[in-house]
Structure 1
């Protein structure tokens, strides 16, 4: 009597995984839910219950950021624990929730309208000149990579003339985070970016300590909890972190959301006709194709999972995208479905979410509501200004990336909506 041979563990650095990670993530979940990965010297944790549990457990910390992110950004809230983390969270929360976030709504809308209108205007010019019978653009190059960065620069009260500079810094930091092969030129560019950003920000932070501005940076400089303020270095590090956490993730999420809807035209039309479904489209995108695929944690004690002992001090790669497609948590998880009843849309942007794209527990994403706001405005503007949205003939969307993953190019054709 023969028995099935065990399935070999997939390599997350292999060409097959980089091309299409989702089938191999299922192999990990089913056959190797806790796996030591030799090349990264890390334990891969791939099931929803284990990932969600780790985020809520004191047995796992974010000390790994000391070597992973601090060299790029400086010390940020991501690597803080205990009282230090609680104090900084209390300093930041007012600016990213409730009335604090509402103050920045005009900035968000102005940026989105300006970029989308530019796309539509160019498409209109093409029609008028009879160069092309339909509007056409690359939504990634013309909109999604610029929108969240411009919003952040404006929220911080920095000059619009510096949008290009921040976009360049953003691209440099992201290249470094994804520099798995250790390209020295990429590393050198990131080090130069860190120095340039520090030289740029420090005089501005010093000036705004004593000012009365209402922009995010001025208010952060004056904010105080229990007699404590953020230091100049901490504010500078937070600004650097915003370029990634507030830029790259929203950039990729908006592009994936539009791609998902184009790939499911009946759902696209449902959202177009009923805008109350926008949150469904956002939440399902975060679950199905969220931009952050992996995030690291470190064990603070020996942890037993599925018969494997993960020693104290180990680096663990929490596979968010795998957890969010775990069939133990979601029915038919590979399917994009804004009408699924096993995703709690009402709680999808809170610490009570039943997906893990925003993390859970004490390090739940402080900018989740800002991301929801930006994605809502972006999708509504696309739907309001672009009818009959589709791919050009011969174009196929594709994803790339490992720790973060998105669509590098999203060519679309559309019928521009005439101005009212």
Structure 2
């Protein structure tokens, strides 16, 4: 005898925010394309559907970034298509995947050591407030050769941009915060870009002012927007990826012990986290035509929310998907950081995250150095961390205890 399907989840409810994976399964099984009346968005939950949307840049465009990000930082690479996207991606790729990245790596290692030295003898710390929240921004600031004392500004700007991007309910305070960034961020960064163009050094801003392809160079406005994108894509998301990986390793002591014994497994731990609980839970696209997805016709012009967090736990694609397993065999480690990845955390296809290799290296460094500094790391007071966030998600705090290593 057929049973009635569960009630359609309310994606904007407090219950959904508290435990989205509970509702992701209901969506996959009963509402693979869920239309949310409040936002007007179509939430897509199954792996094959989400992968199809990312790979089909004709039927599903990035036009949504015109209202998600452009009002705050300008038009960025992830909003572009066609030749404009190809040229801009080609200009920036060498800085994030080429020799410059290799030159940067020793500095990434040193930054991690310096930050960990601040608390390695304390026996207790909140790893988010004292490490993961600031480590990726520190790396970006080093890349851009900007003043370290301005870190709080950068954090405020990328936090406002992230909130603006995820503002489904059009909260006026979030909008006002974004508009302050629209004013303050260009006033800060444009004079720096202009000066580096006149007197270039070896930093990323200088390299971007000199980059050229087919006679085209980045304008100051384009570099401003790109740096803004770098702040959001390289800041909060890497922060949450590192924090979540540490959280799940602590929850799985055998796997934590394996990573500690073989530091090369830190990469597998990161990749499994990207699948199990991606830092970017939702990425938007726009339907350019009326199109059928799993039996639901999404009208032309509609905003489509690709739910990475749901797709990555799809039983149709992964074995035992609700199990955190760094040794799983249905994710190819060799392609985990390119556009043909098995997991969906950086999107897929031509808009796959260009900074994925930088994020990978930051996370490997952070995980291995933290585990070395804290051999018996554990949650403080027996309390496990609580996740928060809708578009991006990760632990709010990561309070840990450990026995200080004497040297």
Please state which band the TM-score falls in when normalised by the shorter chain: over 0.9
Which residue of the partner structure matches residue 59 of structure 1?
Answer: 59
Which residue of the partner structure matches residue 273 of structure 1?
Answer: 261
Work out whether residues 107 and 155 of structure 1, in 8 Å CA contact, stay in contact via their aligned partners in 2: no
Work out whether residues 60 and 285 of structure 2, in 8 Å CA contact, stay in contact via their aligned partners in 1: yes
Q: For 2:160 and 2:6, how far apart are their aligned partners in 1?
A: 38
Which residue of the partner structure matches residue 297 of structure 1?
Answer: 285
Matched, 1:366 2:354: yes
**Unpaired runs of 5+ in structure 2?**
none
Work out whether residues 69 and 164 of structure 2, in 8 Å CA contact, stay in contact via their aligned partners in 1: no
How do 1:223-372 residues align onto structure 2 when only pairs under 5 Å count? 223-372=211-360
Matched, 1:418 2:377: no
Q: Figure out how many residues of one structure are paired with residues of the other and give that number.
A: 406
Work out whether residues 389 and 414 of structure 1, in 8 Å CA contact, stay in contact via their aligned partners in 2: yes
Give the deviation of 1:163 after TM superposition. 2.0
Q: For 1:377 and 1:187, how far apart are their aligned partners in 2?
A: 36
Q: For 2:93 and 2:166, how far apart are their aligned partners in 1?
A: 29
Work out whether residues 271 and 277 of structure 1, in 8 Å CA contact, stay in contact via their aligned partners in 2: yes
Which residue of the partner structure matches residue 23 of structure 1?
Answer: 22
Cα distance, 1:303–1:179 mapped onto 2, change above 3 Å = closer
Cα distance, 1:185–1:100 mapped onto 2, change above 3 Å = same
How do 1:402-413 residues align onto structure 2 when only pairs under 5 Å count? 402-413=390-401
Give the deviation of 1:378 after TM superposition. 0.2
Q: For 1:283 and 1:391, how far apart are their aligned partners in 2?
A: 22
Give the deviation of 1:167 after TM superposition. 2.2
Q: Secondary structure at the match of 1:244?
A: helix
Choose 249-258 or 64-73, whichever is displaced more.
64-73
Q: Secondary structure at the match of 2:345?
A: coil
Give the deviation of 1:179 after TM superposition. 4.1
Choose 21-30 or 182-191, whichever is displaced more.
182-191
Work out whether residues 45 and 319 of structure 1, in 8 Å CA contact, stay in contact via their aligned partners in 2: yes
- Using structure 2 for the length normalisation, give the TM-score: 0.97
Choose 83-92 or 188-197, whichever is displaced more.
188-197
How do 1:7-406 residues align onto structure 2 when only pairs under 5 Å count? 7-57=6-56, 58-121=58-121, 123=122, 135-406=123-394
Q: Secondary structure at the match of 2:118?
A: helix
Q: For 2:32 and 2:132, how far apart are their aligned partners in 1?
A: 34
Give the deviation of 1:180 after TM superposition. 4.3
**Unpaired runs of 5+ in structure 1?**
124-134
Work out whether residues 97 and 357 of structure 2, in 8 Å CA contact, stay in contact via their aligned partners in 1: yes
Work out whether residues 331 and 342 of structure 1, in 8 Å CA contact, stay in contact via their aligned partners in 2: yes
Q: Secondary structure at the match of 1:350?
A: coil
Q: For 1:21 and 1:72, how far apart are their aligned partners in 2?
A: 28
Across the aligned residues of Structure 1 and Structure 2, the Cα RMSD in angstroms comes to 1.3
